[in-house]
Amino acid sequence: MEEASNVEVPAVLELRTVSVSVGSIVNYVLPDGRSEGQIRPAIVVRKWSDTCVNLQVLTDGDNDYPGKDGTLWKTSVTYSEDKLPYTWHFWTPE
């Protein structure tokens, strides 16, 4: 049996092995408001598990939620590779 050597691992698979921690910057998918479905950067402020975190989301101010001060704190947000609303995912270059 031949032994595999120099096997390239796709970047997507490498990202899945990265663990999220307090202070990590991730992407959050807005679930509602003017910018529903849009992606915003967020900082992990509490880690419940490798797939569930609390986030401080960096919004686009009044453009996302009119009349609000731009502070958006979301609790128990789960990870999704599919980038569904109210989920987070790792940042990847476009």
Within its chain, how far is the Cα of 43 from the centroid? 9
Q: Give the pLDDT mean for 6-29.
A: 73
Q: How does DSSP assign 12-75, residue by residue?
A: HHHHHTPPP-TT-EEEEE--SSTTTT-EEEEEEEEESSSSEEEEEEE--GGGTSTTS-SEEEEE
Tell me the percentage of the chain whose pLDDT exceeds 70: 80
Pair type for strands 52-58 and 87-89: unpaired
8-state DSSP, 85:
T
pTM score, two decimals?
0.78
Q: Give the pLDDT mean for 39-63.
A: 95
Give the span between the Cα atoms of 49 and 29, in whole angstroms: 19
